[in-house]
Structure 1
């Protein structure tokens, strides 16, 4: 079994795929990169990859039609997930930094009871300017409580043990645009998880990305996830109320607030 792969879903993302691949630290792990083209019609991943001249081994999977990110991720995991001890996530346009993989893999090797680890994350605009930093909790008890308010992991920062596929299964497909939130809830119910207290990924806020154009759908799915995992505690109650209010709050305004009040700008 190989050590690690990086799973990247792709849909008409163009050269942002290359920027993501080129940010992967190669020297430590030599991870394979599994790219799942989710039925692209405008710019296929195969055409973009013709320009890649780096050292990483690229495995390209192509879906016949566009089915959504959760289906693309599950397609990649079903074909190759169990070929690797660890599965890392990354999205087109997002950039790994600060020796991300060496630090996360070392953490998992030193903490065998931990099955998923993410990190803090810097959010940037389309020109690469830093907007704000999200500092996710590392303590597992805090993670379990705060998950009801919002996800305590940023999807492109996580790396998990592939054997969770046997205990947890694949990404849920009934929570569109919030498949990661639902999946992380499933994982932390059975396995310990953590975050490294350092920003290891830059995530781009794309005005045409899922979190923007499908924001209302994402929030509605988030409410369903909280309701499905609901327990009587202040975090769950606050999480439902908060998510309901966010349905009527423009994304641009929430980004402004996070940027303005963030001490790590």
Structure 2
């Protein structure tokens, strides 16, 4: 399989999953934000995870006229992890792809996002996974700017109790997936968190840029999706296990992990207020 754009071989693959509950306007904004990226050569892989409505399907079909977009679809909804793993396998067929970037179907990448990430990775060959800061929007509890720790050692400590990346900002070095790593499909609700902790455990190096390179959409009903006993148990078990594996055992971490367990059991109205302090 060979892809070229204007006689230039792409070095970046962007992977994005779309499913039936995604809104057309949000998808359009996400797609346009990738098509408007500056100074990079890329292929944009989108996977439809099961059936989508006809309006979304019509829009996505029209996109296939672009030589930058590769569209695929599964008959059934298999979940985000399976969709991303499917796309990763497709990307790895192309030998010239050096970097694989995530995108979500309801967020907006700023025009210089990919070029800044590639430039950093080119200049820092020791870094395997690179995220960025973001601007949240769309809800009453959105942050104007959200920053995470930058350096690997700080991210290791941070990850025991909180997520080290804003997932749709992440760019991977290809070797992460050439080594056989994939998003876990055996966890409940915490696939991305489980993936970051597994990569840390295996010795991959993480970093976050302080630049705001993505607009991250939140909605006032976001808290409804993040509450519940099953999610609380899943996250608690995952974090406690990796706290021991990564030699980060402390009373502080145990208390912080426990506080997140309680957080997922709170009423959504209280979760929204607590969210700013637990992320």
Q: Say whether the fold is shared (TM-score over 0.5).
A: yes
Partner of residue 150, structure 1: 162
The 8 Å contact of residues 43 and 68 in structure 2, kept in 1 or not, is answered as yes
- Which residues of 2 match residues 199-214 of structure 1 at below 5 A? 199-206=212-219, 212-213=224-225
Cα distance in 2 between the residues matched to 1:124 and 1:62: 29
Cα distance in 2 between the residues matched to 1:11 and 1:207: 20
The 8 Å contact of residues 87 and 159 in structure 1, kept in 2 or not, is answered as yes
Partner of residue 175, structure 1: 187
Shift of the 244–228 alpha-carbon distance from structure 1 to 2, 3 Å rule, reads same
Partner of residue 171, structure 2: 159
Cα root mean square deviation, aligned:
2.7
Task: Select 2:198's aligned residue among 186, 207, 228.
Answer: 186
Cα deviation, residue 235, structure 1: 5.2
The 8 Å contact of residues 10 and 41 in structure 2, kept in 1 or not, is answered as no
Task: Select 1:71's aligned residue among 79, 82, 91.
Answer: 82
More strand by share: 1
Cα deviation, residue 140, structure 1: 1.0
Q: What secondary structure does 1:34 align onto?
A: strand
The 8 Å contact of residues 175 and 222 in structure 1, kept in 2 or not, is answered as no
Could you report, residue by residue, the CA deviation over 1:217-251 in whole angstroms, capped at 9, with x for unpaired residues? 44432223213312223454134212211122234
Cα deviation, residue 46, structure 1: 3.5
The 8 Å contact of residues 20 and 95 in structure 1, kept in 2 or not, is answered as yes
Cα distance in 2 between the residues matched to 1:142 and 1:54: 44
Partner of residue 87, structure 1: 100
The 8 Å contact of residues 142 and 218 in structure 2, kept in 1 or not, is answered as no
Could you report, residue by residue, the CA deviation over 1:22-57 in whole angstroms, capped at 9, with x for unpaired residues? 112433113111101100243575422245499661
TM-score under structure 1 length normalisation: 0.86
* 2:263 is the alignment partner of 1:243: no
* 2:114 is the alignment partner of 1:101: yes
The 8 Å contact of residues 81 and 87 in structure 1, kept in 2 or not, is answered as no
Could you report, residue by residue, the CA deviation over 1:120-140 in whole angstroms, capped at 9, with x for unpaired residues? 12211169x954432110011
* 2:136 is the alignment partner of 1:136: no
**Unaligned runs of at least 5 residues, structure 2:** 1-8
Task: Select 2:31's aligned residue among 3, 21, 28.
Answer: 21
Cα distance in 2 between the residues matched to 1:18 and 1:168: 32
- Tell which deviates more after alignment, 178-187 or 162-171: 162-171
| Bigger Rg, structure 1 or 2 | 2
Partner of residue 195, structure 1: 208
Q: What secondary structure does 1:91 align onto?
A: coil
Shift of the 245–41 alpha-carbon distance from structure 1 to 2, 3 Å rule, reads same
Shift of the 60–50 alpha-carbon distance from structure 1 to 2, 3 Å rule, reads closer
**Unaligned runs of at least 5 residues, structure 1:** none
Shift of the 258–236 alpha-carbon distance from structure 1 to 2, 3 Å rule, reads closer
The 8 Å contact of residues 219 and 247 in structure 1, kept in 2 or not, is answered as yes
Q: What secondary structure does 1:194 align onto?
A: strand
